[in-house]
Amino acid sequence: MSTLTTYARAALPLVPGASLLPFVAGRGKQMPALERRVDGVSVDPAHLADYARVCGFTLRDTLPATYLHMPAFPLHMQLMTDGKFPFPAVGLVHLRNRITVHRPARVSEVFDVVVRTTPIEPHPKGRTFAIVSEARVDGELVWEERSTMLRRGGGSGEAASGSAPLTDGQTRGAPVTWTLPGDLGRRYGSVSGDRNPIHMHALTARAFGFKQAIAHGMWTKARALAALEPLPDAYTVDVEFKKPIFLPGRVTFAADDGRFVVRSAKNPDITHLEGTVTP
Amino acid sequence: MTPAAPRRAVVLGGNRIPFARSDSAYKKASNQDMLTAALDGLVERFGLAGERLGDVVAGAVLKHSRDFNLTRECVLGSRLAPETPAYDIQQACGTGLEAAILVANKIALGQIEAGVAGGVDTTSDAPLALNEDLRSILLDANREKSVQGRLRQLLRVRPQQLAPAIPRNEEPRTGLSMGEHQARTAAEWGITREAQDELAMRSHQNLAAAYERGFQDDLVTPYLGLERDQNLRPDSSIEKLAKLKPVFGGADGTMTAGNSTPLSDGAAVALLASEEWAKQRGLTPLATFVDAETAAVDYVNGREGLLMAPAYAVPRLLERNGLTLQDFDLYEIHEAFASQVLSTLAAWEDPVFCTQRLGRSEPLGAIDRSKLNVNGSSLAAGHPFAATGGRIVAALAKALHERGGGRGLISICAAGGQGVVAILEA
């Protein structure tokens, strides 16, 4: 399925009455245990090079931690457009993303990728659930990712258990400035395959309530991770996506002692992303 | 206060990525990517993560202007301590070996304890420059104070100036490619097509055998899907090589794509240290970096062939060390072209060359060909210009150590009529 049709299908539950149709997501209240998998994922070095270039990574024989998000992403979309999926995919907010690298994943390896949903949990601003993705090489778990998604509205006011915030609001190290071009969303979109209209162009973003196109959260995470190279063989990189970055734009990046933060260059009170890298 | 007397600098090993053919496996890898990959592998092999080394010295022949501090940037992207200093050098194909000389000399003088020497080159991710006329117009426009003045300058731009300047493998002072230069030298020395093809075939066979017996296992780290050098043809034969058409020296030329090195991409580094430093870390010295010499010839006025400088550098090095050409157990003569190796060997055997040009009373003589490039050389591996020195230093040091001792000679010819040579001993 092309990403365009995927996004069209993802948006279908927004059409009044459409969610009554059996093949359209967005009807249930409980999160069913959904799973999708794709086996035999191999890496094209030329694609890895394009990804490394757009995110700022050195092109190594080992994959950046964020790279395997890309083969998992179409499976995420499949889950969220499944008829049993309780929410419309469009409008879900990617709140937090935690990736654990158990050992370096090499370019020449072949990966079996599986993704599954977790139960709905309460959140002050709505309800959350996670999509857990795992990549294995010959049965050995080498990589896993937990994407926490928020469905706004109907917030219980209570926070979910085990989701202590990553952030402590402190300034970190000496900030460097990144200038993000207006076509960054299109560039990352063409490499990653995530052509969500909110990232593509101001006009398409406006249709979804954003004044300008916004940077992909996974690009921002990858760019931050690239700035932290060299990285250890095994680690966890956990980020919270706070506020969208409008394109074009300028942001600052600062890191200190395993913690990092991306802020608006114009207004340092606006934090876009905060994260940690832990061994 | 007296400075410390010179001490031994030893080679502990090396690491490189497999060399790729141009516009192939590494077509999107930059010099910085490849040199970082080579360094990463070295750090892993020798447990250097977090170590502050004395120096990392490397370079590239084809370099983007943005890569002014290429080696330092690679160090910062590697797991070496960020406090490790680095600098870039460039001496054409001699870059890697010259880097090793610089590191070895600082170790010998007690200025550093350990360092990395190497180089990288890509002919795929090549730097394109602005057309020279366009560059001149843009600089003129930049100097103008007014918008009108700038516009006046920019109106000078012509469509043909929009084509970029592509780096070319030619000597600026003669306009001839290196291959054309060497074709003249080959003709002058009467180097036959058969002899060149024979040398090329041996290079492929020797390198293939080196991979087969595991010799490369601790010298090469896979990169982007390549585990062996892409140019290597283990099934290379005289018959196949004989079918190739000449590419240099016209229709009667003897130099083909089979007996000339292809354009290639890759990176190589070698680790050198003092004996004390190696001992503290439990690392085994493979060979001592004994001495080195660099020579240059006047190829511009046609007094000597472009790639004949090693023929001059080696006798000077031998004399300083009280050695003869036959006092070596292994010879590593970089195969820029098979005919370059054969012209150099012919010159050393030639009484006229040795008396008239080297000023010797007798020729240096022949070498035992079975000791030459025993684990293959550039014709088989490929030759990413600045990476070749690091490849040879590490491989020769290992080969000498493996045979339980001995003396090895390295000879590398370089653009600009230069040659870099060195002696290793185990």
ipTM of the complex: 0.85
A166-279 maps to which CATH number?
Answer: 3.10.129.10
Asked whether residue B186 is assigned to any structural domain, the reply reads yes
Which positions of B are catalytic? 93, 383, 413
Do B311 and B209 fall within a single domain?
A: yes
Q: Inspect the interface and report whether the beta carbons of A107 and B36 lie closer than 8 Å.
A: no
Q: Inspect the interface and report whether the beta carbons of A49 and B223 lie closer than 8 Å.
A: no
Asked whether residue B83 is assigned to any structural domain, the reply reads yes
The helix (H) or strand (E) run that includes residue A249 is strand A249-256
CB contacts of B79 in chain A (<8 Å) are 230
> What token pair was written down for B34?
């490849």
* Residue in A with minimal Cα distance to B40: A60
Interface of B with A (CB under 8 A): 25, 27-30, 32-33, 36-37, 40, 77-79, 221-225
Asked whether residue B3 is assigned to any structural domain, the reply reads no
In this structure, the number of other CB atoms found within 10 A of the CB of residue B65 comes to: 7
Do B189 and B46 fall within a single domain?
A: no
Write the pLDDT tens digit of every residue in B244-281. Answer: 999 999 989 999 999 999 999 999 999 999 999 999 99
Write the pLDDT tens digit of every residue in B130-184. Answer: 888 898 999 999 999 999 999 999 999 998 888 888 777 788 899 899 999 999 9
Chain-wide mean pLDDT for chain B?
95
Write the pLDDT tens digit of every residue in A113-134. Answer: 999 999 999 999 899 999 999 9
pLDDT for B420: 98
B298-305 average pLDDT score: 92
Do B188 and B52 fall within a single domain?
A: no
Has residue B240 got a pLDDT over 50?
Answer: yes
CB contacts of A48 in chain B (<8 Å) are 224
Do B366 and B273 fall within a single domain?
A: no
Q: Inspect the interface and report whether the beta carbons of A61 and B222 lie closer than 8 Å.
A: yes
A58-76 average pLDDT score: 97
Angstrom distance (rounded) from CA B74 to CA B80:
10
Domain boundaries of chain A, sorted by first residue: 1-164, 166-279
Q: Looking at the complex, does the CB of residue A233 fall below 8 Å from at least one CB of chain B?
A: no
Asked whether residue B374 is assigned to any structural domain, the reply reads yes
B61-84 average pLDDT score: 95
Q: Inspect the interface and report whether the beta carbons of A48 and B224 lie closer than 8 Å.
A: yes
pLDDT for B127: 81
A1-164 shares its CATH topology with A166-279: yes
Write the pLDDT tens digit of every residue in A137-170. Answer: 999 999 999 999 999 887 666 655 445 566 666 6
Higher pLDDT, A157 or A19: A157
Q: Inspect the interface and report whether the beta carbons of B223 and A61 lie closer than 8 Å.
A: yes
CA distances from B214 to A164, B40, B210, B211, B376 (A): 51, 21, 6, 5, 14
Total domain count, chain B: 2
**Torsion over CA: B339, B341, B342, B347 (sign):** positive
Q: Inspect the interface and report whether the beta carbons of A53 and B79 lie closer than 8 Å.
A: no
Do B92 and B206 fall within a single domain?
A: no
Residue B96 contacts residue B118 (beta carbons within 8 Å): yes
pTM for the full model? Answer: 0.91
Angstrom distance (rounded) from CA A231 to CA A64:
9
> What token pair was written down for B107?
């170790």
* Residue in A with minimal Cα distance to B24: A46
CB contacts of A106 in chain B (<8 Å) are 222
Q: Looking at the complex, does the CB of residue A279 fall below 8 Å from at least one CB of chain B?
A: no
Q: For testing the chain A interface, which of B16, B23, B26, B28 should be mutated: the one with the most A CBs within 10 Å?
A: B28
Looking at the partner chain, which of A59, A108, A229 has a beta carbon nearest the beta carbon of B29?
A: A59
Do B321 and B276 fall within a single domain?
A: no
* Residue in B with minimal Cα distance to A46: B28
> What token pair was written down for A197?
């209209």
Do B51 and B76 fall within a single domain?
A: yes
> What token pair was written down for A202?
């101001």
Q: A with B: how many residue pairs have Cβ under 8 Å apart?
A: 42
CATH number for the domain that contains residue B116:
3.40.47.10
Non-local (6+) Cβ contacts of B336 within 8 A are B93, B178, B182, B260, B261, B307, B378, B383, B413
pLDDT for A2: 54
Asked whether residue B169 is assigned to any structural domain, the reply reads no
Do B199 and B79 fall within a single domain?
A: no
Q: Which residue has the tokens 């402590």?
A: A168
Question: Of B119, B18, B127, which is closest to residue B60 (Cα–Cα)?
Answer: B119
Do B40 and B189 fall within a single domain?
A: no
Looking at the partner chain, which of A45, A58, A106 has a beta carbon nearest the beta carbon of B36?
A: A58
Backbone torsion region of residue B167, taken as left when φ is above 0, otherwise alpha when ψ lies between -120 and 50, otherwise beta: beta
pLDDT for B132: 87
Q: Inspect the interface and report whether the beta carbons of B224 and A53 lie closer than 8 Å.
A: no
Residues 101-130 of A with CB under 8 A from B: 106-108
* Residue in B with minimal Cα distance to A51: B28
Has residue B2 got a pLDDT over 70?
Answer: no
Look up the domain containing B72 and give its range.
9-127+264-280
- List the beta bridge partners of residue B423: B291, B409
Residue B243: band (very low, low, confident or very high) from pLDDT cuts 50, 70, 90:
very high
Do B419 and B313 fall within a single domain?
A: yes
pLDDT for A18: 52
In degrees and rounded to multiples of 5, residue A166 shows phi and psi of -75, -25
pLDDT for A170: 66
- Beta-strand ranges (E) seen in B45-197 are 55-58, 86-88, 114-121
pLDDT for A99: 98
Residue A22: band (very low, low, confident or very high) from pLDDT cuts 50, 70, 90:
very low
Non-local (6+) Cβ contacts of B401 within 8 A are B284, B286, B287, B426
A160-185 average pLDDT score: 76
Asked whether residue B147 is assigned to any structural domain, the reply reads no
Question: Of B346, B276, B263, which is closest to residue B311 (Cα–Cα)?
Answer: B346
Asked whether residue B204 is assigned to any structural domain, the reply reads yes
Torsion of CA A46, A52, A57, A62, to 10 degrees: -50
Tell me which of 3.10.129.10, 3.20.20.80, 3.40.50.300, 1.10.357.140 is the CATH number of domain A1-164. Answer: 3.10.129.10
CB contacts of B77 in chain A (<8 Å) are 58, 229-230
Residue A196 contacts residue A217 (beta carbons within 8 Å): no
Higher pLDDT, A23 or B220: B220
